[in-house]
Every structure is written in structure tokens, then in C-alpha cells.
Amino acid sequence: MKENLVMKIFKSHLVEGTLEQGKDIGLRVDETLLQDATGTMAALQFEAMGIPKVKVRKAFAFVDHNMLQTGFQNADDHRFLQTFSNKYGVYFSKPGNGICHQVYLERFSKPGTVLLGADSHTPNAGATGMIAIGAGGLDVAVAMAGMPYYTKMPAVVQVKLSGRLKPWVASKDIMFELLRRLTVKGGVGKIFEFTGDGVKTLSVPERATIANLGAELGATTSIFPSDQRVQEYYKLQKRPKDFKPLAADPDAGYDEVIEIALDKLAPMVARPSMPDKVVPVSEEEGKDVRQVCIGSCNNSSFDDLMLVGALLKGKKVHPDVNLTITPGSKQVFEMIAASGALQHMISAGARILEAACGPCIGMGQAPPSGSVSVRTMNRNFLGRSGTPDDRVYLASPYVATACALKGKIYDPRKIGAKPPIIQKTKSFIVDDSNIIKPSVKSDKVVVEKGPNIKPLPLRGELDDAITSVVLIKVGDNITTDHIMPAGARVLPFRSNIPAISDFVFYNIDPEFPKRAKQSGGGVIVGGSNYGQGSSREHAALAPMFLGVKAVIAKSYARIHRSNLINFGILPLIIKDQDAFTSIEQGDTIALENIREHVAKDDRMNVTLKDKNKTIEVYLDTNARERKILLSGGLLNMIKQEA
């Protein structure tokens, strides 16, 4: 039987279930990825399982998020992660070595591998023929302990690329086209597999840009074939033996087919404040720009920054624009320095930031109030930059650099007939000295925990009855940034749940934590695609700490739904629009015989006590998820089984 690439890799890693769309499956995980924003909590969760060593082939921990050391908290977390990694068998990438997705792509990606990462942009590695999936930290900790990763078998969507991109059109515009067509909800429950003659025209960094941005569709992951372009990339990285060819069989079947003619695309931007608000750059031309940020785990490769350096050579950044450039890794930083591109950037007036997530997660470089910031990053959710009324546009390096030079949103095609030609490098600088291998004498390693690292909070078994207040009601496409903000003020408390819980819904309703504490917990009501965006499990863990028992929403983003279940919060579904409209913040609701309903995956009746009204909600869980909920969370279930 002819198979697509996803099916081939899934079949070789399947440990439970059948590979039919929508069916529950368990996959063997080869490698895991942590970063310092999600990693400290995942490390504490792994420790709580009492397992002496990680049981995957390789596990990695990167420091790239919490880099702004204005107090002891971030430095303590870094030290904790390094000593934890040393003891439990994890490879540790030091601060300054680079952004997890860029470094993993360069030094560790391997065709045919299944990677599970505690970061929503883990699919970046799909550029090299891998299944790379983002998940909550607890799911990753469980995989590190040697257990399968459970999910529903996604639909496999063939994205058939034909032709070649025109001058000034970037690979980012391919994903902008998909976001324009499908929206941020269009990839939920799907994997996007890229095929066609157009794939051969795209380098590995260009493919990584696309695979990375697939997370903004809500996709489980995205994948490209492992072909000659991947082989060339591995040769440059001095690890040719890691290459093996992998592709779909000719005429393989797919659940859905999307066709994109590359030569029909034009430069595009995503308007504020959602990645799917995509329009041609020509529609936004002329708007004043005050900040341009180039880099993050999207568009921070050597190829990307060589292009930016060439465009800036001999020119000056517009006087009204603050331009920042972030190399994706130490390797990229060294190579643009050696090539001379870094000098062109500095001479033009750019500010060079360290190889870290930085502005993308609001870790510095917040733009001026109400001003336009053009960024090559992957998310532009309102306030994510650190400025509450930001106006962030997403764009390719071509568009971003043109905006930096002109001081306005500008179509790069007006710069000239073609972009400058970048001479290909014959080899990359390879220095893995900032990647620390775990100790062979782990019994002598002491894990160091600073005072900001607090014990892991747990809850008891699922209640059989709930009478609670509706703490907040929100609309569609609420992101994990809305629920649990990032940024320089909040991120240092990632390993301190009591402290970070004071920021739940901070940018929507700063009084939410106080109200939750005064009410002894409660219920959250949300619209469609609730919890989209980052994999941050703190968006479930901190509400659980505040006493949130259930969320009632029209639909959920994949990772956040799993996180809610993992921490014992009921992810209830409401289908009736009139019933949804009738629920208001402050209503008192009641659920009864909860354990019986959960055990049977029954419909439940929610009583609005103040209105003498009953509405119907659904759970839609499998047997394993029901067991987790009844136990009060995944860690509770694992301890009970142990």
C-alpha cells in the first residue's frame, strides 16, 4: 500500500492504537526538547516520578527564553536546569548558544525521528523529514520517563507546491498564504506534508520557516521530505551520516490536498494582532514604522541574516526606526561576523541582540505605545511584545529590511529588480562546546534549586460535585498569552506557581487572580479555539492552583486541551450558541455526579443557579483521558499506577 511520509514515520513508532484519522494512538518518542521557560517545571515533574535517568534516545534542554537577568530568578533556573540535566542524562545548551529550534535543526535533527518538545514551535525540525510535535511540559516529562506520547491520529494534508518563488517573495509568504486561506484554526487536528516540484527549490532554512509557522495554523506539525537539500545541509553542518532519504511514495494518499503555485505569490504581511490577518504588503504601504525586529526562531538562520546584511550594506536605517537583529544561534552569530555581514548591520545602525527569543516573547524591546512594529517573528498577539496597545505586523526579512530603511511599510520589489545574490558558503563553523553532555557519574551530581523554585503543586482527585462562580467569560481565539502572559515581568516566576498565578489573565482582567482566590476557585468560559498559541502549561497549571475546576468553551486548541486534562481541569464543550450567550461572568453554576459522567464520557447538565436554567455540555474524552481526570491529573495517575 502506498504511504505518505507521515504514515511511514508514524507506523514505525506506533505502540498503541490504529493509524486511522481521529483514532487514539500512542507513539514512541525518540528525543525530547525542553527550554528554560517550560523546562524548569517539566524537570520538577520528571523528578517527581522518581526515575533515575531519562529513557529516550536523547533529551535536550536549552536556555533561550528567560535571558534577561535583572534578578537572581532566571540565573537560578538556568543553574537548576544545568545540574538537573547533568544528573538525569540530558544534553544542556548554555545561555548564548542559541534558540532551541535553530540549534536543534543545526546540530541534532535527523530524518525519521520523532521529537516531542515543550514548545509549540518544535515542528521547526520538520524541515528535515522529522515528526516534531509541540506539547505541554508534563507530556514531555512523561515521554522522558520512557512512556508513549498519546494523541489522536491527525488528518494528513498534502500541500503541493509548484513552480518557483519570484524575486522578493520569501518562503514565509507560502505560510502566509496558508494562514490567509485557512485561519489560525484551520490546522487543528491536521499535519501538513509538503510535496511537489516546488519543494526542491526551497533550502532547509526556508523549509524551517514554513514548518515553524505551521504552529500558527494550530497544526499538530508540518513535514518536508528528506532529500538532496537536506543532504547538502547536513554536509555543511559536518554530520553527513545523519542523512537518510525519506519521502512519500509516488501517488500516496492524503486526507486533503492543497495546491500552491509559488510563482503566483507576492510579498505579504500579517496585520495586527493575529497571524492570519494576511494581506499583500502593497495594501499596507505608507504606514509609519517605529520598530523593526528581525530574528527569533523564525528567520534567524545564516541565510536569512546574510540577506539582511547584504540589503543593509552601505545604507542607513531610517532615523525614526529602531532596528534589532537576533541571530538564531552562536553558529549563525560567528558566521555573519566572519562573513562581514555583521559589520554591514552595525554600520547601518542596527542593534544586535544575543542569540535568544528576546522580542518575540516580550523579553525586552517593547515598541513605543501605539506604534507599528514590523517583525519577522511568528506571533503578533496583542500585547505579546510588552506594549499593551502594540501594532505588530509579521513579515519576511525582505519586507522587514525594506521597512527599516524607508521608515514606512514598504514593498521590497520597489528596491530593485532582484535581491542581492548571496554567495553560498562551503562549510559552517561547528563548535559544540556550549552543549554540555550529561555526567557519567550522575550519583555524585547535586541538583541546585534556588529560593524561587517552589514545590510542584498538585490537586486531589476529581470532585463529584461543583458549585462555583463563572470567574471570567472570554471570546474566540483566546491565546495562552492572554491566559498566562510571557515577558520580562512574568517569565522569571515560571518555577514559582504561587507567584506566577497572580498574572493569570493579567492583560484581560488584572482582578482575575484576586477574584478566584476570594471565590475559592471557579469556572472559566471561552469561545472557539480556546488556548491557541504557546504550549505553556502554566496557562493550565496556574488556574488549577487558583482553584479553577472546569473550562466551558466552544472548542479547544490541541495542546491547551491536553494541558487542562493533565492538571485535572474539565475541558467541557458547549455547542448551543444560545446557551453560550446565556452564561455570564458572575453566574453561579452547578455540576453534579461528575465522576459518573466522566467515567462514561457522558453529556453533563450545568445548572445556572441564579437563572434557574440548565444547559448541556460535553466532554469528548478517551479512556486514558478519563482516567487522568478522575485521578485529578496525569502525575496523580502515574503515582497511583506506580
Q: Show which of 237, 263, 289 is a domain's final residue.
A: 263
Annotated active-site residue in 13, 30, 36, 65:
65
Residue 160 located in a structural domain:
yes
Listed residue (316, 309, 298, 375) closest to 337, CA to CA:
309
Residues of the chain where predicted confidence (pLDDT) is lower than 70:
1
- Is there a contact between 602 and 619 (Cβ–Cβ < 8 Å)? yes
Considering only CA atoms, give the Rg of the chain.
Answer: 24
The last residue of one of the domains, among 263, 289, 315, is 263
Tell me, yes or no, whether 306 and 403 share the same domain.
yes
Distance separating alpha carbons of residues 108 and 437, to the nearest angstrom: 13
Which CATH number is 116's domain given?
Answer: 3.30.499.10
13-21: long-range pairs with CB below 8 Å, 24+: 13/114, 13/131, 15/148, 16/148, 16/150, 17/153, 18/153, 19/153, 20/153, 21/153, 21/154, 21/155, 21/255
One domain, residues 14 and 162:
yes
- Candidate list 534, 555, 562, 631, residue with the active-site label: 534
- 88 in any annotated domain: yes
Known active-site residue 534:
yes
500 and 570 in a common domain: yes
Nearest to 353 by CA among 374, 338, 379, 332: 332
- Residue 197 annotated among the catalytic residues of the structure: no
One domain, residues 29 and 140: yes
Range of the domain at 326: 280-412
> Hey, what amino acid is at 52?
P
**Positive or negative torsion for Cα 349, 350, 353, 355:** negative
One domain, residues 228 and 284? no
Q: Are 367 and 291 in contact (CB under 8 A)?
A: yes
> Active site includes 65?
yes
Q: In angstroms, rounded to a whole number, what is the distance separating the alpha carbons of residues 110 and 131?
A: 10
Q: Is residue 426 part of a domain?
A: no
Same domain, 223 and 314: no
Residue 460: alpha-carbon gap to chain centroid: 30
In a domain, 556, yes or no: yes
339 and 472 belong to one structural domain: no
- Quick one: 57 and 203 in the same domain? yes
Residues 609 and 576 in one domain: yes
Work out how many domains the chain is built from and give that number. Answer: 3
Is 390 catalytic? The answer is: no
Q: Choose the catalytic residue: 77, 119, 276, 390.
A: 119
Q: Are residues 91 and 217 in the same domain?
A: yes
Question: Does 379 lie in the same domain as 305?
Answer: yes
Q: Is residue 218 one of the residues assigned to a domain?
A: yes
Domain with residue 548: its CATH number is: 3.20.19.10
Q: Domain ends where: 211, 238, 263?
A: 263
| Beta pairing, strands 114-117 & 131-134 | parallel
**Catalytic residue flag (residue 379):** yes
| Residue 431 included in any domain | no
Q: What's the CA gap between 565 and 423, in Å, rounded?
A: 51
Instruction: Answer for the pair 185, 218: CB distance below 8 angstroms, yes or no.
Output: yes
What torsion do the CA atoms of 122, 391, 477, 551 make, to the nearest 10 degrees? 90
494 is catalytic: no
- pLDDT tens digits, one per residue of 251-275: 999 999 999 999 999 999 999 999 9
Residue 85 lies in a domain: yes
Q: Which of 121, 375, 391, 536 is catalytic?
A: 536
Identify the pLDDT of residue 252: 97
List the catalytic residue out of 64, 77, 276, 587.
64
Q: Which of 107, 121, 379, 560 is catalytic?
A: 379
Q: Per the domain annotation, does 446 fall within a domain?
A: no
My answer on whether 94 and 242 are in the same domain is yes
Looking at 118-229, which runs of residues are DSSP E strands?
131-134, 149-152, 155-162, 190-195, 221-223
